[in-house]
Amino acid sequence: MSTILAIETSCDETAVAILRGSELLASEVASQAEHEAYGGVVPEVASRNHLLHAPRLLDQALGKAGVALEEIDAFAATSGPGLASSLMIGASMAKGLALGADRPYLAINHLEGHLLSPFFDGNSEIEPNVSLIVSGGHTLLVEVRRVSGYRILGRTVDDAAGEAFDKVAKLLGLGYPGGPEIEKRAVAGNAARFDFPRSMLDSGDHNFSFSGLKTAVRYRLADFQNEQATPGLVSDMCASFQRAVIEVLVKKTLRAAKECGATLVTMSGGVSCNQALRKEMAERCRAAGTRLLTAPPRLCTDNAAMIAFAATLRFQAGFRSQVSEEIDPNLALV
Ligand code: KG4
Ligand code: ZN
């Protein structure tokens, strides 16, 4: 049974996890609230914070796991996609640890971490599936055949779904990250009040677009500029916006599954925390006779446990990376 230590620093979360077989011994995450003031992630601030937090989280994880560095069988880090200055911190640390302990290093694709996370609580048997990854940086439909057997079916041509949540939240004067704020307000809102566009719903491919939706919210909001933005207006905007995003994500995912003949759909990434999305996806999958596996909520937003899980599967399958392997901000999923 392998013990893997993984570090995730692709964006603004610093995370360290230790996974022994299927037992998660530690999963430490430090989120960076500093970015809220800017309404988005500032790369220089993020990398400086990774430098501050990562050594502390490493000690914390080893302490919680009750594991010495010598007991780690391999060190893994997210090597892309993400912010170059952020990726560099976690990858350099994992490489240094691997060299120091004379153990293998594994470079892990952040998207693979998300994509495999729905299997985390299972028996680690990766079944073929069609996977929707919905996060702040990505919106992707992938046909998964096995670990490292991926075919991209479609992706967003502009904003990611989470990015749209964050930008719309900013327009509505809500906090960052916008997803949870919008979800909270949408509960009391009237989703039928505003008929926002379902972009690319019938585009005939598996791609997405969310920037037009964000612009539509901006224009509708401008109609009310002479009025006080009442809580009712904000809730209705949130509910209507959220429904538009969910409808497109769910319908296009099920269409892709049907086209691929997949009997299993998986869903991961920060936006998949959204309860309304989970509920709608579950109902539509049930109606279509398709099974659904979603990432456990604690593993939806960025964390190192999912990186450790992907690394464990790769380690067991015989994959190893060179410490000379560079980080790649645009790393493709292969
Ligand atoms: O996976 P993640 O932590 O980071 C990336 O890899 O991008 O995803 C963060 C994104 C943010 O855009 C955030 O607004 C969104 O996930 N998010 C949500 C919810 N919780 C987080 N979006 C909708 N509803 C939520 N409950
Ligand atoms: Zn992510």
Encoding tokens for residue 18?
A: 């230790």
CA distance 266 to 45: 33
Please report, as a single letter, which amino acid is at residue 33. Answer: A
Structure tokens at 180: 């949870």
179 lines ligand 1 (CB under 6 A): yes
Strands 139-146 and 129-134: what pairing? antiparallel
Backbone angles phi, psi at 170, to 5 degrees: -65, -45
183 lines ligand 1 (CB under 6 A): yes
Does some domain include residue 331? no
Q: Which amino acid, 274?
A: N
Q: What digits encode the pLDDT tens for the residues 77-88?
A: 999 999 999 999
Is residue 83 helix, strand or coil? coil
Residue 270 lies in a domain: yes
Same-domain check for residues 281 and 306: no
Find all residues with CB under 8 Å of 25, minimum gap 6, and list them: 3, 18, 19, 61, 64, 65, 66, 67
In this structure, are residues 79 and 108 in contact, taking their beta carbons and an 8 Å threshold? yes
Q: Do 271 and 168 belong together in one domain?
A: yes
Task: Please tell me whether residues 82 and 226 are part of one structural domain.
Answer: no
CA 270 to CA 249: how far, in whole Å? 14
3-state DSSP assignment of residue 212:
helix
| Same domain assignment for residues 80 and 210 | no
Q: How many CB atoms lie within 10 A of CB 34?
A: 14
Model pLDDT, residue 12: 86
Nearest ligand by distance to the CA of 139: 1
DSSP codes of every residue in 144-174: EEETTEEEEEEEBSSS-HHHHHHHHHHHTT-
| Nearest residue (CA) to ligand 1, atom 14 | 179
Full residue range of the structural domain in which residue 89 is found: 3-117+299-316
18 domain-assigned: yes
The verdict on the CB of residue 112 being under 6 Å from ligand 1 is: no
Q: Do residues 16 and 110 both lie within one domain?
A: yes
Judgement on whether residues 76 and 164 belong to the same structural domain of the protein: no
Q: How far is the CA of 2 from the centre of ligand 1 (A)?
A: 31
**Residue 124 pLDDT:** 65
Indicate if 245 and 285 belong to the same structural domain. yes
Q: Does 209 fall in a domain? A: yes
Q: What contacts 166, CB < 8 A, 6 or more positions away?
A: 39, 40, 136, 176, 177, 178, 179
User: Measured in angstroms, how far is the CA atom of residue 85 from the centroid of ligand 1?
Assistant: 21
Domain shared by 180 and 31, yes or no: no
Pocket of ligand 1 contains residue 273 by CB under 6 Å: yes
| Shared domain check, 109 and 56 | yes
Peptide bond into 180 cis (omega under 30): no
Burial class (CB in 10 A: 0-12, 13-18, 19+), 193: middle
For all residues of the chain together, what is the average pLDDT? 95
Mutate to test the pocket of ligand 1, among 14, 111, 135 (most ligand atoms within 8 A of CB): 135
d(CA 139, ligand 2 centre) in Å? 10
pLDDT for the residue numbered 231:
77
Over residues 223-231, mean pLDDT: 76
Confidence at 39, pLDDT banded by 50, 70, 90: low
This prediction's pTM:
0.95
